[in-house]
């Protein structure tokens, strides 16, 4: 079976699809988690049950409860990083920790792909995230041959062609000798590396392949003079019950932990889908004009009226696609044969929005896309240095799509509950900030827990968790607001906003202060963002 | 009755004129005339004149009991201050540790300094006096470096609240970790007579209590009996100044509302130099090492919480620590 569809040559290797990945873009967790969520009891129902329990005043008759200091639901990048951080820190390493995950973690830990095959769920890790992963001893457990750094970003407006060129040398005077904007890698490389580090550290009771059937509150245990009526109890398939001093919801955008805590997540849907794919690029036969980019790798993002399309570099001549577009376009793209899909992606970085919307319209369905593309390219003038290399192949089974959402939880903490990552916030994947925001969350939460332990606080109380909320809420809100506004600004094809935004991008290009702010956002250099 | 600015101003003026008399009272172990005179004798307990317990104060705190553990309730300011107490105790103890013992690090491991002390030093026995709902007592009992915490308060309802709250944490359920006793400092020695813990402790704490007791000097000398040789007495209180009256009575109680009204009687505030005076006067008799005495001012910044501020002990809340000679 062919792994690569390429109009130009034979497919290099055998297939191996990876469907169970966690997408780099937070919204995707929805799809994965929705299934799991069915079994949960929401907080208000729990309260109801609780009230009945109180009325009956039934005391627990079961044996001594199984009590943990931290129970983390969700073994994605955020949950695993948090537990690694807690285990790696001598102050918190004595805590009793449990991890609950629906997937088979041993499969993820031993995850492996041949060098020319890539999972389509990739993330752009900022230097700040990488520094922290290194500090907790996880970074070197990632397969470094599957990590690609890049030092330059080309961002332009599809309608006006106005450009922002991001490079760390010219825009960030404080960045020092390291000019890396970000590190691209597959999410599975990250989770697999974290799992290896956790195994090395030991001491986490892992319940994988485990379904959370419901979350309730504990009971009174008069025989041991214990009152656990305010403690969350996580009921696993198979009957196991875990009591949690602190229940961490790292369980994605549809977070069952969040519903248990009765925390609302508000926001809106963009009526956009993100299309991802792993692509092969033409070998570069000309040197990049950017001498400051040691890897020669560039990330490209073009704002189209339907949404941004981005091509992010992977090792070798591979790249990952993240294309936000209308649900109709997304459906069309997924239905195309590989050759036509490739033509559409090449077109997305080159043709005018008018040509593109024709290609996406039903009117064009008579002619194959690659013919339309070549014909239109003859009439389009492109500077090859300003667009990515030509895409020549798409990895089999790597095209997928998911709806984009903006969601922000009303709070990240409740008594004995903390939310991190997508459970707390889901954003438009414009700046690739989703996973990095989650990393920012867990750094803050791990620091908060460590401080609480050192000062004898009960780490589950809102009193102890307050500083996590205050550190992260505003920071996330700023990032989310910026991404959301960028999306809206670039969603118009004509009218006053178009003129404004070409001015905007040109102004940004010349305005070092704003540009370096945007750069800091992208590279996570801004302290807590 | 003690809550409005108009009613307070005359008291304030009266107190100023009484100040020298009041200072003399502290040093000389005599009953406090000022405090006694301005309080109604409503719920007078028996033998009031021999006891440090002020019945008014106790009923005031009993009434606060139900909201003691509400993070946004009556004791929020105490909750926020609590981590700083541990920092201050660590500062006190680390000075005496570094001067008396040299810690040799193990060659292969590189634990943090705190960890090393935890491993090498014997675990600590705490006595928390005027423990209230147990904010400090619980937190001390959770520390890996703690052997046990004995916590006492004169208010019976509050001890009930404290016990009930401790039962919500399995870590504190171990009967030897944390015990609450409803008693006065005067009766503590006889209560502890047959206790396996003994009646002397490594760290005796008195947080936000001394400004609520009658005859503070008497109170302190009873306390000193329970500090082991080489052990520490650590307390926190509020200086008696115009600023502290403004910040704690007016700002904290009336404007910010972070402290319940009627909690503070400015007449009873004690300045750090008055306490220094007490400890030097009784240094020999009670065995205090004056060179160890440490004072640290802390300031409540709305929105930020408590912050250590050098020199602020002269104007508001402060910690004081003093060690007994070994
Ligand atoms: C402001 S509260 C401080 C509570 C606790 N130390 C804290 O900071 O969390 C003062 C406490 O001192 C207690 N108290 C007042 N006079 C006392 C006395 N003479 N003996 C023992 N406790 C006393 C009160 O009942 C009250 O609980």
* Homologous superfamily in CATH for domain B41-98+121-324: Vaccinia Virus protein VP39 (3.40.50.150)
Q: What is the pLDDT of residues A241-278, one digit of tens each?
A: 999 999 999 999 899 999 999 999 888 777 888 899 99
Q: Does B302 touch chain A (CB under 8 A)?
A: no
Long-range contact set of residues B9-18: C-beta below 8 Å, sequence gap at least 24 = B11/B38, B11/B266, B11/B267, B12/B245, B12/B266, B15/B266, B15/B267
How many angstroms is it from B61 CA to the middle of ligand 1?
8
Q: Does A215 touch chain B (CB under 8 A)?
A: no
Q: In chain B, which among 17-76 make CB contacts under 8 A with chain A?
A: 71
Between CA A416 and CA A453 the distance in angstroms is 15
Of all residues in chain B, the one with the smallest CA distance to A451 is: B83
In the prediction, which pLDDT does A308 show?
85
How many angstroms is it from A165 CA to the middle of ligand 1?
64
Between CA A395 and CA A398 the distance in angstroms is 6
Is position B305 annotated in a ligand binding site? no
Is position B179 annotated in a ligand binding site? no
In the prediction, which pLDDT does B116 show?
42
Of all residues in chain A, the one with the smallest CA distance to B80 is: A463
Which of B81, B137, B153 best tests ligand 1's pocket when mutated (most atoms within 8 Å of CB)? B153
Can you tell me which residue has the tokens 């214990």? A226
> A476: Cβ–Cβ under 8 A, 6 or more apart, which residues?
A408, A424, A425, A437, A440, A441
**Does residue B209 line the site of ligand 1, with CB under 6 A?**
yes
| Helix B216-224 / helix B185-192 crossing angle, nearest 10 deg | 20
Between CA B223 and CA B279 the distance in angstroms is 12
**Does residue B213 line the site of ligand 1, with CB under 6 A?**
yes
In the prediction, which pLDDT does A483 show?
59
From B152's Cα to the closest Cα of chain A, the distance in A is 19
CB-CB neighbors (< 8 A) of B115 in chain A: 90-91
CB-CB neighbors (< 8 A) of B86 in chain A: 454-456
Q: Does A417 touch chain B (CB under 8 A)?
A: no
Q: What is the pLDDT of residues A378-392, one digit of tens each?
A: 878 877 778 899 999
Question: A229, A60 in Cβ contact below 8 A?
Answer: no
Average pLDDT over all residues of chain B: 75
Calculate the CA dihedral of residues A149, A124, A32, A439 and round it to 10 degrees. Answer: 110
In the prediction, which pLDDT does A369 show?
83
Of all residues in chain A, the one with the smallest CA distance to B75 is: A463
Quickly state the pLDDT bin for A171 (edges 50, 70, 90). very low
Q: What is the pLDDT of residues A208-233, one digit of tens each?
A: 999 999 999 999 998 888 999 999 99
**Does residue B69 line the site of ligand 1, with CB under 6 A?**
no
Between CA A131 and CA A134 the distance in angstroms is 5
Nearest to B167 among A225, A458, A462 (CB): A225
Which of B132, B223, B269 best tests ligand 1's pocket when mutated (most atoms within 8 Å of CB)? B132
Identify which of A335-339, A371-375, B28-32, B43-47 has the greatest average pLDDT. A335-339
Task: Give the residue ranges of chain B where pLDDT is below 50.
Answer: 1-49, 100-118
Q: Identify which has the larger pLDDT, A476 or A402.
A: A402
Q: Does A230 touch chain B (CB under 8 A)?
A: yes
Q: Does A67 touch chain B (CB under 8 A)?
A: yes
Q: Does A225 touch chain B (CB under 8 A)?
A: yes
From A510's Cα to the closest Cα of chain B, the distance in A is 38
- The answer to whether A228 contacts B114, with C-beta atoms less than 8 Å apart, is no
Q: What percent of chain A has pLDDT over 70?
A: 72
Checking if the pLDDT of A43 tops 50, the result is: no
Q: Identify which has the larger pLDDT, B318 or A83.
A: A83
Go through B82-103 and write b for each residue having 16 or more CB atoms within 10 A of its CB, e for each that does not. bbbbbebbbebbeebeeeeeee
In the prediction, which pLDDT does A503 show?
44
Q: Identify which has the larger pLDDT, B298 or A173.
A: B298
Nearest to B169 among A90, A458, A466 (CB): A458
Closest CA to A115 of A139, A83, A148: A148
Q: Does A474 touch chain B (CB under 8 A)?
A: no
Interface with chain B: mutation pick from A455, A466, A468, highest number of B CBs within 10 Å: A455
Nearest to B144 among A94, A228, A458 (CB): A94
Coil/strand/helix, residue B318: strand
In the prediction, which pLDDT does A504 show?
46
Quickly state the pLDDT bin for A343 (edges 50, 70, 90). very high
What tokens appear for A39 in the block? 């079994």
Q: Identify which has the larger pLDDT, A367 or A74.
A: A74
What tokens appear for B115 in the block? 């960890």
In the prediction, which pLDDT does A367 show?
79
Task: Report the 10 Å Cβ neighbour count for A419.
Answer: 30
Residue A72 forms beta bridges with which residues? A99, A248
In the prediction, which pLDDT does A378 show?
82
Tell me how far the alpha carbon of residue B267 is from its chain's centroid.
18
How many angstroms is it from B305 CA to the middle of ligand 1?
21
Task: Specify the residue with its C-alpha closest to ligand 1, atom 19.
Answer: B53
How many angstroms is it from B219 CA to the middle of ligand 1?
12
Averaged pLDDT for residues A44-73: 61
Averaged pLDDT for residues A425-441: 75
Question: A240, A279 in Cβ contact below 8 A?
Answer: no
How many angstroms is it from B209 CA to the middle of ligand 1?
5
Averaged pLDDT for residues A15-42: 32
Closest CA to A123 of A435, A387, A409: A435
Phi, psi of A251 (to 5 degrees): -110, 30
The full set of domain ranges for chain B reads: 41-98+121-324
**Does residue B131 line the site of ligand 1, with CB under 6 A?**
yes
In the prediction, which pLDDT does B251 show?
57
**Does residue B155 line the site of ligand 1, with CB under 6 A?**
yes
Of all residues in chain A, the one with the smallest CA distance to B142 is: A456
CB-CB neighbors (< 8 A) of A455 in chain B: 82-83, 86-87, 139
CB-CB neighbors (< 8 A) of A461 in chain B: 71
Averaged pLDDT for residues A13-36: 31
Q: Does A224 touch chain B (CB under 8 A)?
A: yes
How many angstroms separate the Cα of A195 from the Cα of each of A141, A188, A190, B74? 9, 10, 9, 45
Of all residues in chain B, the one with the smallest CA distance to A228 is: B168
Checking if the pLDDT of A362 tops 80, the result is: no
How many angstroms is it from B152 CA to the middle of ligand 1?
9
- The answer to whether B71 contacts A463, with C-beta atoms less than 8 Å apart, is yes
Task: Report the 10 Å Cβ neighbour count for A456.
Answer: 25
Q: What is the pLDDT of residues A126-160, one digit of tens each?
A: 899 999 999 999 999 999 999 999 888 888 877 77
Is position B211 annotated in a ligand binding site? yes
Closest CA to A155 of A525, A520, A499, A518: A518
Q: Does A461 touch chain B (CB under 8 A)?
A: yes
In the prediction, which pLDDT does B235 show?
95
Question: A433, A482 in Cβ contact below 8 A?
Answer: no
């Amino acid at each position: 079976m062919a792994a690569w569809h390429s109009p130009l040559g034979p497919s290099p290797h055998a297939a191996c699809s990876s469907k169970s990945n966690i997408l780099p873009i937070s919204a995707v967790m929805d799809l994965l988690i929705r299934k799991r969520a069915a079994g949960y009891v929401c907080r208000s129902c729990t309260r109801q049950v609780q009230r009945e329990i109180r009325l009956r005043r039934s005391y627990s008759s079961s044996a001594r409860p199984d009590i943990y200091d931290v129970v983390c639901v969700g073994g994605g990048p955020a949950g695993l990083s948090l537990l690694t951080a807690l285990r790696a820190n001598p102050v918190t390493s004595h805590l009793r920790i449990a991890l609950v995950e629906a997937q088979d973690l041993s499969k993820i830990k031993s995850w492996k792909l041949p060098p020319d095959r890539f999972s389509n769920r990739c993330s752009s890790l900022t230097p700040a995230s990488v520094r922290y992963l290194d500090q907790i001893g996880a970074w070197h457990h990632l397969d470094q041959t599957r990590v690609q750094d890049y030092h330059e970003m080309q961002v332009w407006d599809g309608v006006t062609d106005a450009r922002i060129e991001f490079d760390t040398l010219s825009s960030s005077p404080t960045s020092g000798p390291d000019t890396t904007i970000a590190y691209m890698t597959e999410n599975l490389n990250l989770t697999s590396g974290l799992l290896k580090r956790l195994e090395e550290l030991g001491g986490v009771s892992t319940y994988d392949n485990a379904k959370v059937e419901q979350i309730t509150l504990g009971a009174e245990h008069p025989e041991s003079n214990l009152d656990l009526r305010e403690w969350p109890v996580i009921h696993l398939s198979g009957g196991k019950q875990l009591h949690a001093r602190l229940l961490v919801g790292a369980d994605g955008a549809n977070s069952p932990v969040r519903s248990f805590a009765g925390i609302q997540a508000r926001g809106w849907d963009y009526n956009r889908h993100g299309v991802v794919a792993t692509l092969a690029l033409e070998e570069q036969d000309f040197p990049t004009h950017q001498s400051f980019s040691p890897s020669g790798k560039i990330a490209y993002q073009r704002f189209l009226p339907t949404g941004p399309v981005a091509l992010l570099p992977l090792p070798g001549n591979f790249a990952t696609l993240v294309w936000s577009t209308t649900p109709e376009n997304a459906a069309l793209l997924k239905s195309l044969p590989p050759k036509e899909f490739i033509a559409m992606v090449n077109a997305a970085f080159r043709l005018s929005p008018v040509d593109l919307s024709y290609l996406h319209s039903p009117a064009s369905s008579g002619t194959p896309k690659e013919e339309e593309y070549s014909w239109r390219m003859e009439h389009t003038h492109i500077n090859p240095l300003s667009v990515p290399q030509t895409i020549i192949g798409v990895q089999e089974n790597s095209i997928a799509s998911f709806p984009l959402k903006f969601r922000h939880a009303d709070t990240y903490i409740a008594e004995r509950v903390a939310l991190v990552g997508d459970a707390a916030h889901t954003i438009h994947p414009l700046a690739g900030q989703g996973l990095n925001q989650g990393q920012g969350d867990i750094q803050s939460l791990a620091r908060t827990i460590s401080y609480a332990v050192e000062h004898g606080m009960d780490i589950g109380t809102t009193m102890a968790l307050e500083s996590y909320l205050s550190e992260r809420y505003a920071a996330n809100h700023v990032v989310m607001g910026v991404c959301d506004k960028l999306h809206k600004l670039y969603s118009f094809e004509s009218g006053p906003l178009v003129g404004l935004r070409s001015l905007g991008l040109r102004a940004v290009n010349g305005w070092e202060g704003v540009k370096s702010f945007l750069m800091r956002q992208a590279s996570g250099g801004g302290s807590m963002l | 009755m003690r809550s409005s600015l108009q009613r307070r101003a005359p008291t304030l003026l009266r107190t100023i004129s009484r100040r020298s008399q009041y200072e003399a009272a502290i040093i000389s172990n005599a009953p406090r005339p000022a405090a006694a005179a301005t309080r109604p004798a409503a719920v007078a307990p028996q033998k009031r004149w021999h006891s440090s317990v002020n019945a008014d104060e106790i009923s005031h705190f009993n009434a606060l009991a139900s909201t003691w553990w509400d993070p946004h309730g009556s004791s929020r300011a105490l909750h926020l201050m609590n981590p700083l107490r541990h920092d201050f105790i660590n500062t006190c103890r680390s000075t005496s540790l570094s001067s008396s013992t040299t810690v040799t690090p193990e060659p292969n491991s590189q634990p943090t300094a705190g960890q090393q002390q935890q491993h090498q030093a014997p675990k600590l026995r705490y006595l928390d006096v005027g423990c209230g709902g147990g904010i400090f007592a619980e937190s001390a009992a959770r520390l890996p470096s703690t052997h046990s915490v004995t916590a006492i308060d004169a208010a019976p309802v509050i001890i009930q609240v404290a016990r009930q709250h401790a039962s919500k944490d399995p870590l504190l359920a171990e009967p030897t970790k944390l015990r609450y006793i409803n008693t006065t400092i005067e009766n503590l020695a006889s209560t502890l007579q047959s206790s396996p813990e003994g009646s002397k402790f490594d760290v005796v704490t008195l947080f936000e209590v001394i400004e609520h007791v009658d005859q503070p000097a008497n109170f302190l000398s009873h306390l000193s009996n329970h500090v082991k040789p080489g052990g520490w007495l650590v307390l926190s209180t509020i200086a008696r100044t115009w600023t502290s009256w403004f910040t704690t009575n007016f700002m904290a109680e009336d404007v910010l509302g972070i402290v319940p009204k009627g909690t503070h009687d400015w007449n009873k505030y004690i300045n750090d130099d008055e306490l220094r005076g007490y400890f030097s006067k009784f240094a020999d008799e009670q065995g205090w090492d004056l060179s160890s005495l440490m004072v640290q001012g802390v300031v409540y910044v709305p929105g930020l919480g408590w912050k250590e501020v050098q020199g602020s002990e002269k104007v508001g809340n402060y910690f004081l620590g003093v060690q007994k000679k070994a």
